[in-house]
């Protein structure tokens, strides 16, 4: 192998290492792109009303801040109140677990207990875990500074991308050969369409699940209904896994009151998921790119494992973008035209890209960079 190839390989490895080290920043950038894409739909709608883009961007950002500020102004006091209530519920919950554990130890025969050694230490283990969770308040507060900085970076990037997205889009397209730039612009447009459809469907589902959960928990008299409803709505970002995780907190709180209430909570959540599957999904699926359930589940697990909390919430949009790139570049442009390049007598020109510019695939066409 020549020295040039070794240098290229070394640069590639170093680049991968650097990208891995800044993966959290890259995820924040991707999240900013998602929000900017969503807000850009409002900007485009305002521009159709003959409003200049600068003013439309300002209106969109102001509308976003108004919604977020109004939400926290109305909801935050109740959340704080219910969080305080949670600190009083934890000791009662531990006492209840201890009572259940003692009862199980008396009811289950001794030979069975010998086979289930871990049951004897159930109370101690849960106490340790809950104690660690409640005792990590200082750690959470100490990390809040980083959360604030990341949030500010996220908002600044979103506004910058929203004000003038053309240079960033053009710069990305310039990374590809000239004959493929028009095609890449089409692929980016399809990625944008997929993300917009996912955002619309997800927001609708979040509000529906959160509202129905709050009403159901309020009727049953389960404690902390607002927090549980917000958790249920937010976890709709995580398909398959999210609805299951959102059931755990209200189920445990219902067990503190009565077993029948826990059964009722499970029934309500199952009913809400059925409404989502039978009513909401068919309505919003028209504007979304369908993903196979196995692909969705694996994406959530893999991205959460590699990228942590942000990867967990951004798994689906990441998969949507990757799926679009794979379908358009690998499948349509390469694999579907593979037979065209299989003949020995044919020129070495990559015929997979003939559809990009049928007249001259090698033309230096930069019109896509400058178009509006």
Do the domain assignments include residue 50?
Answer: yes
H or E element at residue 289? none
Q: How far apart are CA 300 and CA 238, in angstroms?
A: 7
Token pair 């909570």: residue: 265
pLDDT of residue 168: 92
Share in percent of the chain as helix, strand, coil (round to 5): 85, 0, 15
- Give which of 88, 36, 83 is closest to 64, Cα–Cα: 36
Do the domain assignments include residue 6?
Answer: no
pLDDT of residue 355: 42
Do the domain assignments include residue 313?
Answer: no
The DSSP result for 134-199, as a single string, is HHTHHHHHHTHHHHHHHHHHHHHHHHHHHH--HHHHHHHHTTS-GGGHHHHHHHHHHHHHHHHHHH
The DSSP result for 50-70, as a single string, is T--HHHHHHHHHHHHHHHHHH
Into how many domains does the chain fold?
1
Do the domain assignments include residue 263?
Answer: no
Q: Alpha-carbon dihedral of residues 193, 197, 203, 208, nearest 10 degrees?
A: 170
Residue pLDDT, tens place only, 319-332: 999 999 999 998 99
Q: How far apart are CA 308 and CA 315, in angstroms?
A: 10
How high is the mean pLDDT in each 10-residue block of the chain (372 residues)?
Answer: 76 86 90 91 90 90 85 70 67 68 66 53 52 51 67 88 90 91 93 88 86 90 84 80 81 80 89 77 59 78 85 87 91 82 47 41 41 42
- Give which of 188, 187, 191, 190 is closest to 353, Cα–Cα: 187
Using alpha carbons, list the distances in angstroms from residue 348 to 66, 245, 332.
57, 53, 19
Do the domain assignments include residue 56?
Answer: yes
Do the domain assignments include residue 125?
Answer: yes
Q: How far apart are CA 98 and CA 95, in angstroms?
A: 5
Do the domain assignments include residue 261?
Answer: no
Asked if residues 172 and 187 have their Cβ atoms less than 8 Å apart, the reply is no
What is the CB neighbour count within 10 angstroms for residue 92?
A: 10
Asked if residues 233 and 215 have their Cβ atoms less than 8 Å apart, the reply is no
Q: How far apart are CA 216 and CA 246, in angstroms?
A: 14
Q: How far apart are CA 110 and CA 46, in angstroms?
A: 72
Do the domain assignments include residue 259?
Answer: no
Q: For residue 68, give its domain range.
A: 23-164
Token pair 């990559």: residue: 350
pLDDT of residue 82: 64
Q: How far apart are CA 353 and CA 174, in angstroms?
A: 17
**What Rg value do the Cα atoms of the chain yield, rounded?**
26
> pTM of the entire structure?
0.69
């Amino acid at each position: 192998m020549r020295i040039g190839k070794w240098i290229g390989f070394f640069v590639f490895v170093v680049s991968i290492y650097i990208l891995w080290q800044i993966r959290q920043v890259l995820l924040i950038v991707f999240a900013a792109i998602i929000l900017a894409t969503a807000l850009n739909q409002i900007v485009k709608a305002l521009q159709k009303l003959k409003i200049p883009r600068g003013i439309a961007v300002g209106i969109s950002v102001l509308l976003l801040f108004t919604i977020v500020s109004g939400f926290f102004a109305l909801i935050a006091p109740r959340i704080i109140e219910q969080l305080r209530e949670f600190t009083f519920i934890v000791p009662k919950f531990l006492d209840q677990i201890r009572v259940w554990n003692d009862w199980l130890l008396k009811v289950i025969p001794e030979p069975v207990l010998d086979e289930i050694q871990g049951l004897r230490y159930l109370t101690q283990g849960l106490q340790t875990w809950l104690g660690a969770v409640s005792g990590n308040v200082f750690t959470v507060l100490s990390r809040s500074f980083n959360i604030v900085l990341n949030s500010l970076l996220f908002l600044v990037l979103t506004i910058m991308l929203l004000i003038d997205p053309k240079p960033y889009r053009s710069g990305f397209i310039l990374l590809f050969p000239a004959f493929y730039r028009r095609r890449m612009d089409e692929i980016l447009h399809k990625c944008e369409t997929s993300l917009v459809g996912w955002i619309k469907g997800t927001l609708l589902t979040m509000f529906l699940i959160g509202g129905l959960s709050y009403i159901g928990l309020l009727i049953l008299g389960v404690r902390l209904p607002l927090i549980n409803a917000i958790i249920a709505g937010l976890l709709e970002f995580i398909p398959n896994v999210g609805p299951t995780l959102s059931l755990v907190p209200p189920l445990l709180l219902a067990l503190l009151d009565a077993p029948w209430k826990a059964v009722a909570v499970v029934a309500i959540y199952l009913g809400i998921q059925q409404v989502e599957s039978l009513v909401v999904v068919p309505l919003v699926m028209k504007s979304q790119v369908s993903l196979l359930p196995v692909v969705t589940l694996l994406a959530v697990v893999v991205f959460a494992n590699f990228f942590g909390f942000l990867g967990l919430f951004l798994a689906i949009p990441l998969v949507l973008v990757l799926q679009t790139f794979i379908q358009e570049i690998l499948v349509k442009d390469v694999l579907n035209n593979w037979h065209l390049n299989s003949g020995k007598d044919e020129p070495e020109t990559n015929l997979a890209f003939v559809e990009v510019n049928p007249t001259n695939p090698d033309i230096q066409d930069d019109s896509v960079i400058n178009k509006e």
